C-alpha cells in the first residue's frame, strides 16, 4: 500500500472518528437541553396546580362567608338571642364543610374565639393562637390545625371576612388537609412525585429512609440521585417550616 493511499485512509478514519464524537456530543447537548426544558416545565406545572388549588379554596371560602353573612337565622341566634350554642350557629361550619369540599372549616369572631368548627366541634369557645388570625389571609397558607381525632395535622387554609348585622365582624377559616392526596393533585405526571418534608418527616412517598437537601437541582433519596426542585410555601405556624419538593423519578 503506497503512502498516499495510507494517508488517505488514516484521514478517513480520523475524520470519521471526529464526526462520531461531534455527533455524540451534539446528541448529549440536545438531550441535556430537552431534560432542562422538561425540568422547568414540570416545575411550572406544579406551581400552576398549586396556584389553581389556592384560587379554588379562596373562591369557595369567600362563597361560604357570603352565605354566612346573609344567613338571617345565624344572625338572629347569635346576635339578637345571644345563643352561640344554637344549631344554626354552632353547627353551621359542620353543615357546610363537606359541601364546600373542605377538610377544615370554622367561624371565629374578631377576637379569635371559635364559635363554630366543622372539623373539631369540641374546639368551640377556644381561642386561636395569638396572632394566627392576623397571619392568615385570603391566600391559603400552611398551618397546624387540630383534626377531627384531636391530633395536630397540617392544613392549607385561607381566611375570609364577613359582617353580621352590618357591623359585627367575623372570619371564616377553611381549606384542605395536606396529605398524600393533596400532594398527588400537584403532580402533573406519574413520574413526578411531589413531597412535603418537615424535619425528618416526609409525606408523599413510601420507603424514604434518607433524603438530602436539594442542591443544584438534585436530591439524594435512599442514596439515589434524582432531579428535584423546591417550591416555597407560606407557613403560618410555629417551628420548622415545611418544604415542598418536586422529584422526577426514573
The pTM of this model reads 0.82
Q: Are 139 and 210 within one domain?
A: no
Question: Contact 110/69 with Cβ under 8 angstroms?
Answer: no
pLDDT exceeds cutoff 90 at 16: no
Cα separation, 91 vs 113, in Å, equals 15
Q: Are 59 and 96 within one domain?
A: yes
Look at residue 233 and tell me if it is in a domain.
yes
Cα separation, 175 vs 122, in Å, equals 19
Look at residue 146 and tell me if it is in a domain.
yes
The neighbour count for residue 204, using CB atoms within 10 Å, is 22
- Looking at residue 222, the DSSP 8-state letter turns out to be T
pLDDT at 4: 58
How many distinct structural domains can be found in the chain? 2
Where a domain ends, among 118, 147, 177?
Answer: 177
Look at residue 25 and tell me if it is in a domain.
no
pLDDT at 3: 59
Where a domain ends, among 177, 197, 230?
Answer: 177
Where a domain ends, among 146, 177, 208?
Answer: 177
Mean pLDDT of 102-128: 95
Structural domain boundaries, residue 103: 54-177
What distances in angstroms separate CA 76 from CA 69, 84, 117, 228, one per listed residue?
A: 12, 10, 19, 54
**Per-residue model confidence as pLDDT tens digits over 19-66:** 444 444 343 433 333 444 567 889 999 999 999 999 999 999 999 999
**Per-residue model confidence as pLDDT tens digits over 158-171:** 999 999 988 899 99
Residues 6+ apart with CB under 8 A from 172: 61, 64, 65, 68, 105, 106, 107, 159, 160, 161, 162
Q: Are 115 and 185 within one domain?
A: no
Q: Are 63 and 155 within one domain?
A: yes
pLDDT at 37: 55
Amino acid at each position: 500500500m503506497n503512502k498516499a493511499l495510507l494517508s488517505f485512509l488514516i484521514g478517513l478514519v480520523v475524520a470519521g472518528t471526529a464526526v462520531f464524537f461531534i455527533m455524540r456530543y451534539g446528541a448529549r447537548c440536545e438531550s441535556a437541553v430537552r431534560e432542562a426544558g422538561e425540568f422547568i416545565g414540570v416545575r411550572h406545572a406544579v406551581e400552576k396546580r398549586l396556584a389553581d388549588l389556592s384560587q379554588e379554596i379562596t373562591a369557595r371560602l369567600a362563597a361560604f362567608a357570603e352565605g354566612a353573612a346573609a344567613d338571617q337565622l345565624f344572625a338572629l341566634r347569635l346576635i339578637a338571642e345571644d345563643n352561640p350554642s344554637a344549631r344554626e350557629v354552632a353547627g353551621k361550619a359542620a353543615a357546610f364543610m363537606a359541601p364546600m369540599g373542605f377538610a377544615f372549616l370554622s367561624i371565629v369572631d374578631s377576637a379569635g374565639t371559635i364559635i363554630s368548627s366543622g372539623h373539631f366541634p369540641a374546639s368551640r369557645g377556644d381561642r386561636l393562637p395569638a396572632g394566627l388570625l392576623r397571619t392568615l389571609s385570603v391566600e391559603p397558607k400552611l398551618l397546624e390545625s387540630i383534626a377531627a381525632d384531636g391530633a395536630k395535622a397540617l392544613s392549607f387554609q385561607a381566611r375570609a371576612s364577613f359582617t353580621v348585622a352590618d357591623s359585627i365582624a367575623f372570619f371564616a377559616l377553611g381549606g384542605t388537609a395536606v396529605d398524600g392526596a393533596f400532594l398527588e393533585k400537584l403532580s402533573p405526571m406519574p413520574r413526578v412525585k411531589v413531597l412535603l418534608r418537615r424535619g425528618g418527616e416526609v409525606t408523599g412517598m413510601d420507603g424514604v429512609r434518607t433524603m438530602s437537601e436539594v442542591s443544584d437541582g438534585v436530591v439524594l433519596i435512599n442514596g439515589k440521585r434524582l432531579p428535584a426542585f423546591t417550591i416555597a410555601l407560606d407557613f403560618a405556624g410555629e417551628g420548622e417550616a415545611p418544604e415542598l419538593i418536586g422529584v422526577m423519578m426514573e
